[in-house]
Homo-oligomer: A and B are copies of this chain.
Amino acid sequence: MPLATESKTKNEGNKTSMKKYVYFFGNGKAEGTKDQRILLGGKGANLAEMTNLGIPVPPGFTITTVTCKEFYALGEKWPTGLEEEIAANLKQLEEATGKKFGSKDNPLLVSVRSGASVSLPGMMDTILNLGINDEAVAGMIRKSGNERFAWDAYRRFIQMFGNVVLEMEHHGFEHILQDKKKKLKVTEDTKLTAADLKDLVAQYKAYVKKFTKKDFPQNAQDQLKLACNAVFKSWNNDRAITYRNLSKIPHDLGTGVNVQSMVFGNMGDTSGTGVAFTRDPGTGEHKFFGEYLMNAQGEDVVAGIRTPNPISSLKSTMPDAYSQLETIYQKLEKHFRDMQDLEFTIEDRKLYLLQTRNGKRSAAAAVKIACDMVKEGLITKDEAILRVAPEQLDQLLHPTIDTKVKHKILAKGLPASPGAAVGQVVFNAEDAIEWSEEKGRKVILVRRETSPEDVGGMDAAEGILTATGGMTSHAAVVARGMGKCCIAGCGAIHIDGSGKFFTVTSHGQTVKVREGDLLTLNGSTGEVILGETKLVEPELGSDFKQFMSWADAVRKLKIRTNADTPADAKIARDFGAEGIGLCRTEHMFFGENRLKSMREMILAENEAERIKALKKLAPLQKGDFKGIFKAMAGLPVTIRLLDPPLHEFLPKGEKELKKVAKDLKVSVKELHKKVESLHEVNPMLGHRGCRLAITYPEMYKMQVEAIFEAACELAKEGLKVVPEVMIPLVGILGELTFTKKDAIEVAEAVMARRKTKIEYLVGTMIEIPRAALIADEIAQEAAFFSFGTNDLTQMAFGFSRDDIGKFLPFYIEKGLLKVDPFVSLDQHGVGKLIEMAVSKGRSVKPDLKVGICGEHGGDPSSIEFCHKVGLNYVSCSPYRVPIARLAAAQAVLKEKKK
């Protein structure tokens, strides 16, 4: 189609010639609006909006984010036309301010700041006072009559420019400043005189020349160009890339550049500067909140050199400015329909707004503000639902560390399970149980990595710290399931399990932490803190309940939980779970007596012996199920039959092996042989799941019998029990038909014997890629599908989640993956398998019940995907149930928007 191509080329040509790189704002009129944040960045868009609203904003202009992208496309060069546009806008700015850029008499000074469409805190520092030079400083003195102010402005400018643009270390300048103060025997900057500051400027310039081999740039135009380039480049500095990786922000947005005429909060005692929130960002309380400093520039408030005053005191200090500010903040909140975070400066009693944006807030504040704004009629319920990030709710559900206190961080690992924990260090599960149960102490379990045998110890501990393993390691998954704080993969700690201590070496210093020492874990940040720290307990108020009820009314997905114990089931139900989507049965076999019987079964030479050992387990297993069915009475309970390979139940070390051999009355050699014969090269892909039931059908039969015995007994007591038997690891149709036939036979036999009829389902996990590929066949036999996305992700990627620690960080760092696919579902790849399975399954059985029970069931973006592909429910760990409820509601609203 040559015509189309031609027209496209033409169009592009037009586009280039029509491109506008710079948007002006000032004197009550701006070229941009708040809806152009993609083009202008958040800061630029809102400066334009404020200007149009008639709010006093120092005039300036915004260079678009598109310019930044072209800058990179051209190999870090300015696109044609940009220079001219900036010149024109500078001219307009000079007219608006009545000052002249680069003038020695009446110099126009500007600030230069980055501003992307999403907030990237700490991407680059602001440059203030740009445009000053040796001549302009003299003009400023003449014009303001304030010599000290002028030299201070110059000094600050060189320092900021040197640091941000010339890439000189901040502490070099600080060093010169401190030296000066020492010599003068003063401690505060404010004690420096004009002469002192003038001398500092000279010293700074000399320092710059030494470092850059060039004079400090005196030409204002050069300063501006260099500063703009520095902002463009800051988009791709390490800090920014890391932040974007962590926050899942795309790397191709680019940043805008805001050039704005300076106003000065440091012109004396009738000037000042501050930051404020339209509501309390910590509690959500509806009151003006913030702080300010008189006679200061913006950076002073943030730097913490002087202690700022609470905003309320401004009312008495400068009543006019305060009342004006009050009117403005109310106007802004109404206009933006959200809590605002403001920056303002008062220059000689005149108030200017420098920035407004939606304010960051704690989870509690987010919920309260959303609820209040609905009540105030400011936003709708749907909008309220979208105002709280689901992930944020996590804060509300766990005890947290008091962030008002500063802590010494000993080491940092992965924030594997949120919340905080304080306790005494122990190094194995037995000690954890003994210290906790017998001695009544709070303990932190520290392990290289955990295994199913540690579960008892994990349960007894306040928190878990592991040296290896990722966000979905055994420790992480189990801890999240327990709602227990966990830091995983903390590579900095070196554990000597037998010596019962660990060491951390940093900056050449080695700290040794012994058994019994106190330790604090912050599972939300991954920080390990030496000693005891005060924790804050969560509270779920009426706002939370109201807010969640709105979400529940909107969502279509059911939310179930992954729970293996009655206690977990109860927590989840209290959090709003509508059933169990995954009850793992393997943890039930790790109790003291059970493990022995389990091992007897594994060591059995034939079916008869195996059945004998299983008979000992059956009544205990029945008890487990009764407890869970009771806790979930009336709601469906999906029970996954035994999944892990048998070797997980056998002893590991030589010492334990000997002990177990004695217990089981077998020779050490024999036990050794068994352990060896069960060893697998890749246990993840080995003899587990339904594969065990193909070789030893009696195992699943015992479990199904226990399920239905439990169900029948409770049914007789009048309880409604809804068991869903789930066969794990099916990849071949025959695996399902074989195990399902057994399950149905056993279930029917129990019900006939008990003369009770119970509605039940037999379904399967879809966690093997092949199962997704033949889902139409499998659907003919399965009453439901439940996606085991952990295993599905492992196999689709060929990633062992126990081993990815060696390369996944590189993948994230180098941008090969945007996010750990075990944390957030890989919708692009693994998602295709899920979509395929859903559509193939429903092509055969249109009302097939489909859910997800992997770790992803608690991840908001994965939940959105599950909604989109038409799943019936997601199942997640108890403490993530509210998160999932909210995410499911947001998924509906986001879909509606489109």
Chain B proximity mask over A743-781: 1 for CB below 8 Å, otherwise 0 = 000000000000000000000000111100110000000
For residue A507, give the distance in angstroms from its CB to the closest CB of chain B: 19
Chain B proximity mask over A808-826: 1 for CB below 8 Å, otherwise 0 = 0011001111000000001
Task: Give the complex CA separation of A767 and B795 in angstroms.
Answer: 11
List, sorted by A's number, 17 A–B pairs whose CB atoms are closer than 8 Å: A680-B802, A681-B800, A682-B803, A684-B800, A685-B795, A691-B807, A694-B807, A694-B810, A695-B806, A731-B797, A731-B798, A735-B816, A738-B814, A738-B816, A768-B798, A769-B795, A791-B798
Given that A686-B800, A770-B830, A773-B832 are known contacts, is A810 also in contact with B695, CB under 8 Å in the complex? yes
Task: Give the complex CA separation of A829 and B826 in angstroms.
Answer: 21
Asked whether any CB of chain B lies closer than 8 Å to the CB of A485, the reply is: no
Given that A798-B791, A816-B694 are known contacts, is A806 also in contact with B686, CB under 8 Å in the complex? yes
Task: Give the complex CA separation of A810 and B826 in angstroms.
Answer: 34
How many copies the complex holds: the figure is 2
Asked whether any CB of chain B lies closer than 8 Å to the CB of A687, the reply is: yes
Instruction: Let me know if B830 and A680 touch, CB within 8 A.
Output: no
Asked whether any CB of chain B lies closer than 8 Å to the CB of A591, the reply is: no
For residue A412, give the distance in angstroms from its CB to the closest CB of chain B: 19
Enumerate chain B residues within 8 angstroms of A106, measured Cβ to Cβ. Answer: none
Enumerate chain B residues within 8 angstroms of A807, measured Cβ to Cβ. Answer: 687, 691, 694-695
Given that A731-B829, A732-B816, A829-B731 are known contacts, is A799 also in contact with B738, CB under 8 Å in the complex? no
**Size category of the binding interface on chain A:** 35 or more
For residue A853, give the distance in angstroms from its CB to the closest CB of chain B: 17
Enumerate chain B residues within 8 angstroms of A800, measured Cβ to Cβ. Answer: 680-686
Asked whether any CB of chain B lies closer than 8 Å to the CB of A796, the reply is: yes
Q: A681, A774, A814, A830 — which one has the most chain B CB atoms within 10 A of its CB?
A: A681
The 4 closest A-B pairs by CB, nearest first: A734-B816, A682-B800, A685-B800, A681-B802
Enumerate chain B residues within 8 angstroms of A832, measured Cβ to Cβ. Answer: 773-774
Enumerate chain B residues within 8 angstroms of A732, measured Cβ to Cβ. Answer: 797, 811, 816-817, 829
Residues of A714-753 at the interface with B, using a CB-CB cut-off of 8 Å, are: 729, 731-732, 734-735, 738
Q: A686, A735, A791, A832 — which one has the most chain B CB atoms within 10 A of its CB?
A: A686
Task: Give the complex CA separation of A694 and B814 in angstroms.
Answer: 9
Task: Give the complex CA separation of A795 and B773 in angstroms.
Answer: 13
Asked whether any CB of chain B lies closer than 8 Å to the CB of A833, the reply is: yes
Q: Which residue of B lies closest to A805 (CB)?
A: B687
Task: Give the complex CA separation of A774 and B831 in angstroms.
Answer: 11
Task: Give the complex CA separation of A683 and B829 in angstroms.
Answer: 22
For residue A30, give the distance in angstroms from its CB to the closest CB of chain B: 40
Enumerate chain B residues within 8 angstroms of A565, measured Cβ to Cβ. Answer: none
Q: Which residues of A are at the interface with B, using a C-beta cutoff of 8 A?
A: 680-687, 691, 694-695, 729, 731-732, 734-735, 738, 767-770, 773-774, 791, 794-800, 802-803, 806-807, 810-811, 814-817, 826, 828-830, 832-833
Given that A773-B832, A806-B686 are known contacts, is A694 also in contact with B811, CB under 8 Å in the complex? yes
Enumerate chain B residues within 8 angstroms of A694, measured Cβ to Cβ. Answer: 807, 810-811, 814, 816
Given that A732-B816, A814-B694, A817-B734 are known contacts, is A829 also in contact with B773, CB under 8 Å in the complex? yes
Task: Give the complex CA separation of A796 and B832 in angstroms.
Answer: 14
Instruction: Let me know if A769 and B798 touch, CB within 8 A.
Output: yes
Task: Give the complex CA separation of A280 and B147 in angstroms.
Answer: 117
Instruction: Let me know if B686 and A683 touch, CB within 8 A.
Output: no
Enumerate chain B residues within 8 angstroms of A797, measured Cβ to Cβ. Answer: 731-732, 768, 770
Task: Give the complex CA separation of A667 and B770 in angstroms.
Answer: 46
Task: Give the complex CA separation of A450 and B133 in angstroms.
Answer: 76
For residue A692, give the distance in angstroms from its CB to the closest CB of chain B: 8
For residue A46, give the distance in angstroms from its CB to the closest CB of chain B: 35
Q: A695, A734, A806 — which one has the most chain B CB atoms within 10 A of its CB?
A: A806
Task: Give the complex CA separation of A685 and B768 in angstroms.
Answer: 14
For residue A406, give the distance in angstroms from its CB to the closest CB of chain B: 34
Task: Give the complex CA separation of A691 and B735 in angstroms.
Answer: 33
Enumerate chain B residues within 8 angstroms of A738, measured Cβ to Cβ. Answer: 814, 816
Task: Give the complex CA separation of A810 and B802 in angstroms.
Answer: 29
- Please name 13 further chain A to chain B contacts, defined as beta carbons within 8 Å, in addition to the given A682-B684, A769-B833, sorted by A numbering: A682-B685, A682-B800, A683-B803, A685-B685, A686-B806, A695-B810, A731-B797, A732-B797, A768-B796, A769-B795, A770-B797, A770-B826, A774-B828
Enumerate chain B residues within 8 angstroms of A734, measured Cβ to Cβ. Answer: 811, 814-817
For residue A65, give the distance in angstroms from its CB to the closest CB of chain B: 24
Enumerate chain B residues within 8 angstroms of A830, measured Cβ to Cβ. Answer: 770
Enumerate chain B residues within 8 angstroms of A799, measured Cβ to Cβ. Answer: 685, 731
Task: Give the complex CA separation of A814 and B680 in angstroms.
Answer: 23
For residue A201, give the distance in angstroms from its CB to the closest CB of chain B: 43
Task: Give the complex CA separation of A817 and B731 in angstroms.
Answer: 11
**Pick the contact of A686 from B695, B773, B791, B803 — CB < 8 Å?**
B803
For residue A789, give the distance in angstroms from its CB to the closest CB of chain B: 13
Q: A691, A830, A832 — which one has the most chain B CB atoms within 10 A of its CB?
A: A691
For residue A770, give the distance in angstroms from its CB to the closest CB of chain B: 4
**Pick the contact of A682 from B683, B735, B773, B815 — CB < 8 Å?**
B683
Q: Which residue of B lies closest to A491 (CB)?
A: B677
Enumerate chain B residues within 8 angstroms of A828, measured Cβ to Cβ. Answer: 774
For residue A737, give the distance in angstroms from its CB to the closest CB of chain B: 9
Q: A738, A795, A814 — which one has the most chain B CB atoms within 10 A of its CB?
A: A795
Enumerate chain B residues within 8 angstroms of A814, measured Cβ to Cβ. Answer: 694, 734, 738
Task: Give the complex CA separation of A810 and B796 in angstroms.
Answer: 26
Given that A803-B680, A816-B734 are known contacts, is A829 also in contact with B685, CB under 8 Å in the complex? no
Q: A685, A795, A833 — which one has the most chain B CB atoms within 10 A of its CB?
A: A685
Task: Give the complex CA separation of A638 and B729 in angstroms.
Answer: 36
Enumerate chain B residues within 8 angstroms of A815, measured Cβ to Cβ. Answer: 734
Instruction: Let me know if B798 and A833 touch, CB within 8 A.
Output: no
Task: Give the complex CA separation of A795 and B691 in angstroms.
Answer: 16
